[in-house]
Amino acid sequence: MKYLIVGPGGIGGSIGGFLASANHDVSFIAHGKTLEALKEDGLKLNSDLKGRLHIENIKAYSPEEYDQQADVIFVCVKDYSLDSVIPFLKKACGRDCIIIPLLNGFGAGDRIRSALEGSRVADGCIYISAFIDSPGSITQIGSLFRMIFGFKEGSGLDSSPLEGIKADLKGCGIDVAVSDRIEADIFRKFSFVSTAAACGAYYGITLGDIQHEGIYRDTFLNLCEEMRQIADKLGFGFYQDLKSMNLGILDKLAPDTTSSLQKDLKAGKQSEIDSLIFSVVRLADRLGVAAPLYRLVAEKLKSDIFLTGR
């Protein structure tokens, strides 16, 4: 299969690097210095799971240069960039192509489906700690690299092609599952990413600080409880306690990990604060959930952004 990665950041670079290391046909869509680095020196991946990889002669294109049609497109951009890549997806998506968005927010698949009517758009989520060291160089830390995807319940789409994608990903060392309850799975992941980012940004701490008993961990658990209340209102009955699930994820990650939201806020860059924090407050309002702690975090972060001018 011909794989295309839109957004070779920590997530996209890791997926593409693992696939390319197993000799799969992988191309990247990139911009600026990242595109230059990939063309000139290939992809460098420093991975706790794979070791140090340097994949030379990687195929990298700008959106304008890419003139092919992919079999599978992984969309790995930030939530705030999704709308800007949809015109490219229309161009690069072949008749039988499967698009799998792997964003931190909730509802990306619906946004793509509404713009690409008739396309085979799955929903997906990913658990990984990875980041860009420098243009064309990715670091993946920890033992957790898990991807879940599936077609939305009631879509009527045949999920058998997803099994072939799953086999390719598993073959290169990624833990993968095809889900028949993908919306619930995405919300479950969203509940972790959001609570970890909210707690980390509120206190200015790493995940390691939350891995020990104390006020940070208590705050994280209280944020999880507010997410559980939202999940119940949405009808996502989880077979396992949401707090326990999120603690299980948290405690597997490297202690020095910080969320991409924290990194972007600290650097004064555009961030996913709306999709990860403010959207939860809006969702709570719509569903009639109090969510007092999320509101407190949102107000503090709004104030911080106002005071710093970022």
| CATH number of the domain encompassing residue 261 | 1.10.1040.10
**Spatial separation of the C-alpha atoms in residues 67 and 153, rounded to whole Å:** 33
Of 180, 203, 229, the one marking the end of a domain is: 180
**Judgement on whether residues 134 and 253 belong to the same structural domain of the protein:** no
The boundaries of the domain holding residue 283 are: 184-308
**Spatial separation of the C-alpha atoms in residues 274 and 281, rounded to whole Å:** 10
**Judgement on whether residues 52 and 201 belong to the same structural domain of the protein:** no
Cα–Cα distances in angstroms (integers) from residue 17 to residues 10, 35, 37, 153, 232, in the given order? 10, 15, 15, 31, 38
**Judgement on whether residues 247 and 166 belong to the same structural domain of the protein:** no
**Judgement on whether residues 240 and 157 belong to the same structural domain of the protein:** no
Lowest mean pLDDT among 161-165, 228-232, 248-252: 248-252
Distance of CA 94 to the CA centre of its chain: 24
Of 122, 150, 180, the one marking the end of a domain is: 180
Mean pLDDT of 18-24: 97
Q: What is the pLDDT of residue 305?
A: 64
**Judgement on whether residues 191 and 117 belong to the same structural domain of the protein:** no
**Judgement on whether residues 143 and 245 belong to the same structural domain of the protein:** no
The mean of the pLDDT values for the chain is: 93
Q: Is the dihedral of CA 189, 310, 86, 67 positive or negative?
A: negative
**Judgement on whether residues 34 and 168 belong to the same structural domain of the protein:** yes
Q: What is the pLDDT of residue 310?
A: 47
**Judgement on whether residues 175 and 196 belong to the same structural domain of the protein:** no
Cα–Cα distances in angstroms (integers) from residue 162 to residues 30, 97, 113, 176, 240, in the given order? 25, 11, 17, 11, 26
> Which residue intervals of the chain are DSSP H helices?
10-21, 32-41, 82-92, 108-115, 160-171, 182-203, 207-210, 215-234, 242-250, 260-267, 273, 279-287, 292-308
**Judgement on whether residues 249 and 163 belong to the same structural domain of the protein:** no
Of 180, 200, 229, the one marking the end of a domain is: 180
Structurally, how many domains does the chain consist of?
Answer: 2
**Spatial separation of the C-alpha atoms in residues 253 and 183, rounded to whole Å:** 24
**Spatial separation of the C-alpha atoms in residues 246 and 23, rounded to whole Å:** 34
253-294 pLDDT per residue, tens:
888 888 889 988 888 889 999 999 999 999 999 999 999 999
Lowest mean pLDDT among 98-102, 130-134, 166-170: 130-134
**Judgement on whether residues 124 and 206 belong to the same structural domain of the protein:** no
Bridge partners of 82, per DSSP, are: none
Per-residue pLDDT band at 240 (split at 50, 70, 90): low
Q: Which two tokens stand for residue 299?
A: 């107000």
**Judgement on whether residues 168 and 79 belong to the same structural domain of the protein:** yes
- Phi and psi at residue 2, to the nearest 5°: -100, 110
